[in-house]
Amino acid sequence: MSGTRPRLATVWLDGCSGCHMSFLDMDERLFDIGARADLVYSPLVDVKEYPEQVDVCLVEGAVSSEDDLRRIRAIRERTRTLVSFGDCAVTTNVPGMRNPIGPVPLLRRAYVENVTDRPGVPDQVVPALLPKALPVHQVVKVDVFIPGCPPSADIIYDALNDLLEGRVPDTSRARFGR
């Protein structure tokens, strides 16, 4: 690990935040994690820029937009152990449901056909969609996979326990879809 304490990050790409809610469900065990690692980037803390030299990063969500793509590439460069965290990251899961439709009909349905007040596909602020939502490992190298929708707090804690000790976690108890 770099420095005296492991540097931990969590990232939210195209997911529902349920995996982060399950992370919070570790409850009092969050104090244990907080005592053993520095949370240097996360939607749970007020840090805007993904830092250098992150030891462990949990990535929730699929890679669905050009912004996701830019972010995950930078995150990979700055992270020692990248964890695909939850089914959306591992398989695309819910974000992948739009893949057979294609981005143009999808955006038209969401922003034009179903809108009565000023319909129109946004060309600013909303990041452009990729042709398909992609699992994280199709874009960058992933070191550890934790399936589940979401993974349980017990599975997250056990995995983090190993990762913060520098061990490869045994995620065989983790199951897709639950």
Q: Which residues bind ligand SF4 (CB under 6 A)?
A: 15-16, 18-19, 60-61, 86-88, 93-94, 149-150
Distance CA 113, CA 121 (A): 10
CB of 130 to ligand SF4, least distance (A): 17
Distance from C-alpha of 2 to C-alpha of 32, rounded to nearest angstrom: 19
Q: Helix (H, G, I), strand (E, B), or coil: what is residue 82? A: strand
Contacting residues for 139 by C-beta, under 8 A, at least 6 apart: 63, 69, 72, 73
* Shortest Cβ 9–ligand SF4 spacing (Å): 17
Q: Which residue is nearest to ligand SF4 (CB)?
A: 18
Residues 6+ apart with CB under 8 A from 150: 18, 19, 21, 22, 86, 87
**Residue among 89 and 164 whose Cβ is closer to ligand SF4:** 89
Instruction: Pick the closer one to ligand SF4 by CB: 61 or 103.
Output: 61
Q: Which is nearer to ligand SF4, 7 or 72 (CB)?
A: 72
Residue 78 CB, nearest approach to ligand SF4 (Å): 22
Shortest distance, position 147 Cβ to ligand SF4, whole Å: 8
Instruction: Give the residue with the Cβ less far from ligand SF4, 60 or 68.
Output: 60
Around 157, how many Cα atoms within 13 Å sit in the side-chain half-sphere?
Answer: 15
CB of 41 to ligand SF4, least distance (A): 18
For residues 12 and 41, which CB has a smaller minimum distance to ligand SF4 in the complex? Answer: 12
- DSSP assignments along 16-42, one per residue: -SHHHHHHHTTTTHHHHHHHH-EEEE-
From edge to edge, which strands make up the β-sheet containing 79-85?
38-41, 7-12, 54-60, 79-85, 144-146
- Say which amino acid occupies 160: L
